[in-house]
Structure 1
């Protein structure tokens, strides 16, 4: 009981400090953070798009000092909190017209809800930034930075920044696992689909390396078969996750880890790539919820239907009151409390959480 109390106290401190001031936990360990990915780390890009994948309404952001900012969470996302540990304020969304000038120097968030590694993933939600488009958007930012910084200063900024890339969930949830909308599950075996994704991913990671970025944090997929959306399908046995979905994503995670090893093996000199074991860390949360202060792991805090996951969080819905005890905020996304665990383990976790090093060690490398 003493140990659990200490952990709950620690997470409360993280949340309270982050509420008052973004970026105080760390001490500027990197000059900037560039965030790419999907709704797990979207900070409001889809607010400015013709998309139904939006989170710019209450109760999203109900515990965030900026309110419903477009984050798919009750407050802060994984990348927000990881930035706190690094001492870097949450970067502004690329699609915000105000993201220009000096606001670019600490990094930019390009992540977009429903965006995937493949261009077609999530297209039924409307406009979004896919992986390919996010790389193009980064090149746009780079063009602006070239007018502001000397070549030497720009090289230093890029080479010592941290790049966080969170991709793959939509390629499964909003592509492969939707056979009535997409043909991928009829075209590819799970292994072939993972290879397709990783080949696309590798090309764009290499493109970012070619543009001057050198420090990459690449989290794998969490146990998608355990999210309320999948539990709501009724395919899981009582008290269990949908094992077939968790097995489906295994080849992607294993392949991404191998890709990181390959990139670190000499094909990309002067760079470091880190694999984040999201599956293992999230699995630890679900298997040992009390260790982290959680009491509810199988349903969403905000949602409708079985496991509160059949219909995700609707406008003006009343969410659960004990949000820090829930692992999941809505049908697809973790609560801020769960994001805090994921971010801390990414920042300072063991080699079981990150390999070959953690994000804190990544930040200490100077190129």
Structure 2
């Protein structure tokens, strides 16, 4: 009996000593033990996935005032919707806390352990997209912030020097591209006189591909790529370019073309990034299905913004809600909250399908739940 107690005591002492001298060994064992458990998310993109970065930047693309956040637990937060955005809702399914915005000065220390959101409203894949709005963080800048600021700090926070191996069990969510059409290609036609939509889209996809490879080299292994929404059906577009069926087919064609390239990229780039897994979330189809047949999906209004949106003649831009303006009472029945961005009710449907759907025309080639379990 005494020999057993002594052996147990010696084992415990050795375990404590080894844990003190070799912390990285302990961390690697934790990763191995938990397998596919998602530790957090790093989020890159534009206003559809922005959790408040633009609150801290000098630009016109802000949602830090009511009625934005009217249904969010903490009020207006910089999310471009009435409540939670798709990132919050996917995070809930993965049992993650709210992901903090990179530009918030308080986003440091233990707050970054479950990931960071770098997305910036009005930004795009291209560096010059969104400049009309002021200072926004392009996708390139967002990735530099991840590499130069977050990775070293996360490594120090976790007591682990191998930062590239550190983030293998985080989701890397990228939701960008729509603004490159709305606020760049179609807005600045003089810059693209001799560039067809097909060539522009191919170049845009190639640019995104190089950025995904950069994130892969920095340790990313699990990627979620969000489609461009049907921008031709947004209230700001419909109001200025009305069509018979309620949507502008030119803008929707651009979004559809980009999404086709993005879906194809999933298979191509996986071969160039050994050990990686990618999921394409077709939010374009999910929203388009709602607009085409709203009632069975719980919606009524598919074309009007839920909040007051001042037009250009009223000093607005046709996109953002009036500061302190009214919002409709039946927000769950509306597809759009402002002139461009969906309501929380639509975000719920996108998140549910992104996480659970087994239809490859909604998520491809697997769902986020299956990705998390890898």
| TM score, norm. by length of structure 1 | 0.87
The answer as to 2:169 corresponding to 1:164 is no
Equivalent residue for 1:102, pick from 89, 105, 110: 110
DSSP-derived class of the 2:193 partner: helix
1:121 alignment partner in structure 2: 129
In structure 2, distance between residues paired with 1:158 and 1:311: 36
2:297 alignment partner in structure 1: 292
CA shift for structure 1 position 240: 2.4
CA shift for structure 1 position 279: 1.5
- 1:232–1:309 contact (8 Å) kept in structure 2: no
DSSP-derived class of the 2:157 partner: coil
2:322 alignment partner in structure 1: 314
- 2:178–2:255 contact (8 Å) kept in structure 1: no
Equivalent residue for 2:182, pick from 173, 177, 189: 173
In structure 2, distance between residues paired with 1:67 and 1:138: 27
| TM score, norm. by length of structure 2 | 0.85
2:353 alignment partner in structure 1: 345
Q: CA RMSD in A?
A: 1.8
CA shift for structure 1 position 138: 0.5
1:226 alignment partner in structure 2: 233
1:202 alignment partner in structure 2: 209
The answer as to 2:319 corresponding to 1:304 is no
- 1:29–1:87 contact (8 Å) kept in structure 2: no
The answer as to 2:50 corresponding to 1:42 is yes
List aligned pairs for 1:146-165, cutoff 5 A: 146-151=155-160, 154-155=163-164, 157-165=166-174
In structure 2, distance between residues paired with 1:311 and 1:210: 37
CA shift for structure 1 position 341: 0.3
Q: Deviations over 1:115-171 (max 9, x none)?
A: 100011110100111000000010110011122234477555411111111000110
Equivalent residue for 1:246, pick from 239, 244, 252: 252
2:224 alignment partner in structure 1: 217
DSSP-derived class of the 1:148 partner: helix
DSSP-derived class of the 1:147 partner: helix
1:143 alignment partner in structure 2: 152
- 1:47–1:56 contact (8 Å) kept in structure 2: yes
DSSP-derived class of the 2:241 partner: coil
DSSP-derived class of the 1:95 partner: coil
Unaligned runs of 5+ in 2: 1-35
1:354 alignment partner in structure 2: 363
Between structure 1 and structure 2, the one with the greater Rg is 2
1:52 alignment partner in structure 2: 60
Q: Deviations over 1:297-345 (max 9, x none)?
A: 0111013378x98353110110111111101000010000000000101
Unaligned runs of 5+ in 1: 1-27
1:85 alignment partner in structure 2: 93
Q: Deviations over 1:53-82 (max 9, x none)?
A: 001111110111111111111011011101
Equivalent residue for 1:68, pick from 58, 71, 76: 76
- 2:155–2:162 contact (8 Å) kept in structure 1: no
Alignment: residue pair count: 333
DSSP-derived class of the 2:158 partner: coil
- 2:173–2:224 contact (8 Å) kept in structure 1: yes
Equivalent residue for 2:267, pick from 245, 250, 261: 261
DSSP-derived class of the 1:206 partner: helix
Deviates more, 1:325-334 or 1:227-236: 227-236
- 1:300–1:309 contact (8 Å) kept in structure 2: no
- 2:165–2:219 contact (8 Å) kept in structure 1: no
Deviates more, 1:157-166 or 1:129-138: 157-166
DSSP-derived class of the 2:96 partner: coil
CA shift for structure 1 position 278: 1.5
